[in-house]
Structure formats: structure tokens, C-alpha cells
Amino acid sequence: MSYAVHSLFLTHQGEGAHIGRLAVFIRFAGCNLWSGREEDRATAICRFCDTEFVGGRRYADAEALAEAAGALWPDAQAADKFCVLTGGEPMLQVDTALIRALKARSFRTAIETNGTVEPLSSLDWVTVSPKAGTTLATDHADELKLVYPQPGLEPHDFAGFRATHRWLSPMDGAQLRQNVDAAVAYCLRHPEWRLAIQAHKYWRVP
């Protein structure tokens, strides 16, 4: 299988329980909730995405992509490398061959997914970020990250979802201040949820 990858880069994780951790990001092209084109945003299932995932390059197979990821890590002999699979929607492309190739290069593998495709059990860390108007294909993850507020989708909708960490991430955009206030207020009333931040935007790193 070949892989369509928008970008491949070394940076620091800006969100969630691994915030600040050095990671190779593999950002896959394509998503099942939005084409990525502005002219399609108004009719998309997910209309608030702020990530560019159209275009890029194609890697011929799992070994080629894993080799490119490994080449970015500053210490080739390190035993604690970390790789984040994101998108777009990475589970449209991520398969066992790629996970195996990354692990062979001493990578722990994490994925950031909308949860509409069941994540592979061989992944080391799973972050699910649900979107309104979709059906989740899994009922558990290491992290549940809910962009908030979303019309038609409330934190209490996930009372039965099993997750070690629950994050409310204030929706970016023109209403950011109001959304931060709303998320803060919800977390104060429901301490099982934590307030999330997209620190990479403040650090000005990818």
C-alpha cells in the first residue's frame, strides 16, 4: 500500500497529555468529514477544521514512509522515539504494515483521529476528537478531546466513553474568547474534564 502524506515534520506535541514531547508528525492527506477545500466547507460534516491537509507527496510503501520518519529524529539510536499520526483523518490510510515499520525503528505510535474508523489495536496511544453529525466506531481511547462548543454535541454525550483523559478544547475563530469562557465554566462544574490548549499556536511551531 502507498500513502498520501501532506507533510512530515519534527516538532513538539502541542496538545493533550504528551504536550511538549518531541515527536515526528505524519500528517496524512484526505479526510472523510471535509474535502479540505474552502469551497466545500459550508456543506462539510466538519466545518471548523483549521488544518491544511490537501496535497503533499506519496510514499510507495510502509518502509519508505517509516524510513523518512526515522531520518528526522535527531538521534538515530534513540529507543524512545515518538510518532504522531494525524491528518486529515489518518485512519483512512494507517495500517498494520506502517505501525510495524515504525515500531521496528523504535517509535511509539500515537494517532489523532475523529473516531469514525476504529483505531488499530497495535497503536500505543489513541486520541479521539469526535465531530457532530458522526458515529463513533470505538467506545474507548487514551484521550477524548472535544472541540467545544459544538452544536448538537455535548460533553455529557460521552458519559459512557472510556478514556483516561478528557479534554475540552475551546473552538478557535472569531468567538474564541466566548468559547474559552464556556469551556472554563464547564470544566469548573465537571472536574472530570480538563481544559485543553493548542500550545503549538503560541509557540509558533508546526
Assign 38 to helix, strand or coil: helix
How many angstroms separate the CA atoms of 70 and 73, rounded? 6
In the set 6, 15, 49, 82, the catalytic residue is 49
pLDDT at 99: 98
Decide if 112 is catalytic. yes
In the set 6, 18, 28, 31, the catalytic residue is 31
pLDDT tens digits, residue range 196-206? 999 998 898 98
The DSSP secondary structure of 93-146, one letter per residue, reads T--HHHHHHHHTTTEEEEEEE-SSSPPPTT-SEEEE---TT---S-SEEEEEEE
pLDDT beyond 90 at 149: yes
Decide if 187 is catalytic. no
How many angstroms separate the CA atoms of 3 and 80, rounded? 24
Decide if 53 is catalytic. no
pLDDT at 173: 87
State what percent of residues in the chain have pLDDT above 70. 100
pLDDT tens digits, residue range 107-142? 999 999 999 999 999 999 999 999 999 999 999 999
CATH number at residue 96: 3.20.20.70
Q: How many domains does the chain have?
A: 1
Q: How far is C-alpha 187 from the geometric centre of its chain's CA atoms?
A: 22
pLDDT at 206: 87
**Average pLDDT of span 58-72:** 98
Q: What is the C-alpha radius of gyration for the chain, rounded to an integer number of angstroms? A: 17
Decide if 96 is catalytic. no
pLDDT band at 1 (very low <50, low <70, confident <90, very high): confident
Q: Using alpha carbons only, give the angle 169, 174, 176 rounded to the nearest 5 degrees.
A: 30
Q: Which amino acid would we find at residue 139?
A: D
**Average pLDDT of span 157-162:** 97
Find the domain containing 182 and state its range: 3-203
Decide if 83 is catalytic. no
**Average pLDDT of span 48-52:** 93
pTM strictly above 0.85 = yes
Decide if 51 is catalytic. yes
